[in-house]
Structure 1
């Protein structure tokens, strides 16, 4: 579905007009709802005219004691009231169900965009802001379409028609009614400017508050462990108080418009009563006409009073539309090519050719995080990637699956630039497992077989692949869960230990059966014995799969055929573990650092050779020229 760009500088009408692609399928039903509502309003406006005839005929025939016309008129009013009720029911029937369809389509569209937008978008947006747009803003738009839009249009038309009918009895009474409405339009114009700003601020602050709640719930273990619950409460209270003050400002703005909406009709009634009595005294109108005039003015009172509420409702809907279209208008920079290339027989050769990367908001004087990476992984080869913290290892692992796109150079898969492949095909050939394992609120089976869209996960083939992947990841613990493979994992898998989550994430990557496997230190949370078993099982998987493994442990390096040393965003050495120990002082320093970290974690005594001690001294005195060599 195509949508136009969003801008806060748009008029309210132009901003809401962007909903047209979603409303178009139900436009006929909306017209039907508006017609029914207008019919109900016209019927209500007919009642004062009938009452005029009743009063006039009653006064004429009262002397004869005839009440027949009065009863006939009463039945006429009852019939009109029933007709009005039927029209109101039809309005609801026409619009309620279609409005929920608009809500569904907008939510589906927004979710689809959130799935397709690059990771860089999610780096910039708070999850609470996205959640508030998905749930609150779209829900508000649905209520406005079903209720606010139709009633605003119909009530304005009702006021116009009713104002014209007021001139039916006497032009002076109609002029009084019109003149007393001028302050309402002035206050409405001022109200729009103030309330629109407050509505946007309120909805943004509600999104921030939702983010705080989400972060506190997800981080409840940390807050409890460090005794920072009161600190989190204070921060939350401060944000909630800010939102409360904004809501109060909104309420004051609405209160001001309601002041005029309540005051001016009362003034109009008073002036009309005085004028009407004078007109009767001079013979310009009779009692029946004045009675009908006030009956008509009473019918118009609710449409007039509702304008303030409906106007604020429209501005809330406009703000919600702006917030939703803030996401709709985001440009997706990682898309399928116009003329995609296919790899008929993938071999799994992965190559980085002068690959560069920097974040969009990086300053001009900042160096690239990846500064010209040249690296080739041969089909079936396992390459370990090592380097000090901040050298760019994790960033490099995000490039093969196009979680981020290179800002220079290219990444090749079997001789094809990955940007020339459809994303679905690329991510069928490349699977990832992250250090921070993320699981979903679904069964163990669904989590592990997430990457096998081509497979019936409940088939015998699905069971076989599932079991093989769990065996590789040493995840037999799933059989001890309450429902085994069908156990629903809690939100983000927090009901499992860190090691259990990592093993299921590793099983998910293995089950995808990719040609290239990218592993970002997927074993960091495992104990030494389990890690050894997983590594042994991984050797069989990696024998037929090209693998790029970020290594934070010496034991992980042992899995690799070759090792690439990453230093300040550049590959400075490639070779076997033993070759790099002999030839690279920086590599010896990195390995000694990894051994020291491993010893601190396990309590073992690190075996650091004299060569590594010397390497540490060499690293401390290395010059920048040596680093760039």
Structure 2
């Protein structure tokens, strides 16, 4: 928290000082009241009443001004802290590899970036300030009470002592239940997100009632936990409310005897009672402050579960930029296994892709084709061996320069809730209109001009307003717009119909003639675009050669392509 608070430290100080000043003004008012009762009222001194009344009004105005300053500074500071934390969390999430996001529910990450950070902000802006202010208020008032009447003041202090063990017990119980609530909120958020993105599947299978039932079960579980949390908090606050009221009743009873015996003046009793009343809010506020503190603590714990995950793929301190890449890609003894798995997906892969050459990767499902493609732009790192570009280990290159030289299009095209132009120029936001048009033409994506607002048409979340073929063509345009030195295509033509596939392949042939390309393919027509083909089997390179040579000499190669054609035909 310290790095986020530091830029706003002076505002936090102003906020605390303003709060303390406001409380000080409110504490002085009962003392002025005592002077009014024991002075002008007791002696019927109308002239002496005016200056004391003006002083009370001035204190009230000062308190109001200080409250305004405190609230304004509080909002600007705490909202700034929350924004900085949210920005850093988002940047950290972007730095984490795909394997991290594969293991986490999206709703859990979303709840950490929204409700958890809001809980931290509430405690930072309100809880911390009023914890300081209320302790100072409590100590000051008890001191004044003891000064006015030692017996009554000590009695009030003793009456409030049970608050300490009660607070300790409440904190332990509330911390556990707060964690459960926040985790369950993440589960509910995940179900909402999955229902939104999978709406077509849910409707297509007629499973709306099933999904709604599961959501209702999660929502009921969350509601039950929240009610348990509310009962715990309500009981605690109710008891806190009772304690100062008991103290007030004792003060009124014993204070009357003190006045009658002459030990305390009437004005002193009025001031005493008013000061005790001012203890009600600090004591009651303990319930909110402690609850807010535990919510913030569990929220911070959940957020730092993400922060504590160190990005496995990041720039080496000695990383150098890749300049004027020619596109010579080599896989040297490459072995890859997912974290926690003893079985490698790739084992001892050796491949050499010369500049300007197109290498097709063919293999049955699970042979490691897509994993091999992920290693070039460092979406994953090798377990053993190395991948090089122009002789440089990709782990020794800066990620920015590597991913500027290597463009990727995936089998599942991902588009964002933005305009067509913003999606196409994602990797090259400074691309000219001519470059955008060229990329669209190359990917046979001229259909965008028929959309309601052309290139400015928003495609909707994940591009679901477009067909699968349209999404893949836009993803292909995004990959080729920068004319990369290396182009990695993970079966980007899988959702195209036969006619569009033919057009895109013809256009793609022009792109592949000017760049190094690694293409994961399943169709014989796409394999024909490649200069050479590598056949993968169980994570190993079984054969490398031209399409015609492999068809003639490697029966398994023909079997794999035949199986893919059968799947496509069915």
1:595 corresponds, among 525, 550, 565, to 565
Give the structure 2 partner of residue 229 of structure 1: 208
Q: Does residue 424 of the first structure (1) align with residue 424 of the second (2)?
A: no
Give the structure 2 partner of residue 625 of structure 1: none
Give the structure 1 partner of residue 421 of structure 2: 445
- Matched residues in 2 for 1:254 and 1:190: separation? 12
1:562 corresponds, among 524, 528, 532, to 532
Give the structure 1 partner of residue 361 of structure 2: 385
- Matched residues in 1 for 2:292 and 2:336: separation? 46
- Matched residues in 2 for 1:125 and 1:259: separation? 39
- Give the drift of 1:369: 0.9
Q: Does residue 136 of the first structure (1) align with residue 93 of the second (2)?
A: no
- Give the drift of 1:22: 0.6
- Matched residues in 2 for 1:175 and 1:128: separation? 52
- Matched residues in 1 for 2:449 and 2:214: separation? 42
Give the structure 2 partner of residue 349 of structure 1: 328
Give the structure 2 partner of residue 490 of structure 1: 460
- Matched residues in 1 for 2:449 and 2:247: separation? 78
State the Cα RMSD in Å.
1.5
Gapped runs of 5+ residues in structure 1? 1-18, 601-629
Match of 1:390, SS? Answer: coil
Give the structure 2 partner of residue 177 of structure 1: 156
CA offset digits 1:39-83 (Å, max 9, x no partner): 111111111111111111246414xxx333334433322221111
Q: Does residue 29 of the first structure (1) align with residue 8 of the second (2)?
A: no
- Give the drift of 1:210: 0.8
Give the structure 1 partner of residue 89 of structure 2: 110
Give the structure 2 partner of residue 93 of structure 1: 72
Tell whether the 8 Å contact from 1:380 to 1:542 is kept in structure 2 after alignment: yes
Q: Does residue 288 of the first structure (1) align with residue 267 of the second (2)?
A: yes
CA offset digits 1:331-350 (Å, max 9, x no partner): 01111122223444321111
2:179 corresponds, among 169, 176, 200, to 200
- Matched residues in 2 for 1:287 and 1:341: separation? 82
Gapped runs of 5+ residues in structure 2? none
CA offset digits 1:186-241 (Å, max 9, x no partner): 11111111111111221121111111101101111111111111111111111111
TM-score, normalised relative to structure 1: 0.88
- Give the drift of 1:449: 1.7
- Give the drift of 1:321: 1.8
Give the structure 2 partner of residue 73 of structure 1: 52
Q: 1:531 to 1:29 in 2, by over 3 A?
A: same
- Matched residues in 2 for 1:26 and 1:48: separation? 35
- Give the drift of 1:264: 0.8
- Matched residues in 2 for 1:59 and 1:397: separation? 90
Q: Which moved more, 1:39-48 or 1:322-331?
A: 322-331
Tell whether the 8 Å contact from 1:199 to 1:315 is kept in structure 2 after alignment: yes
- Matched residues in 2 for 1:142 and 1:258: separation? 22
Q: Does residue 534 of the first structure (1) align with residue 498 of the second (2)?
A: no
Give the structure 2 partner of residue 47 of structure 1: 29
- Matched residues in 1 for 2:399 and 2:42: separation? 85
Match of 1:39, SS? Answer: helix
Give the structure 1 partner of residue 379 of structure 2: 403
Tell whether the 8 Å contact from 1:209 to 1:239 is kept in structure 2 after alignment: yes
CA offset digits 1:109-130 (Å, max 9, x no partner): 1111111111121112211111
State how many pairs are aligned: 570
Give the structure 2 partner of residue 8 of structure 1: none
- Matched residues in 2 for 1:193 and 1:147: separation? 21
Match of 1:168, SS? Answer: helix
- Matched residues in 1 for 2:41 and 2:355: separation? 103
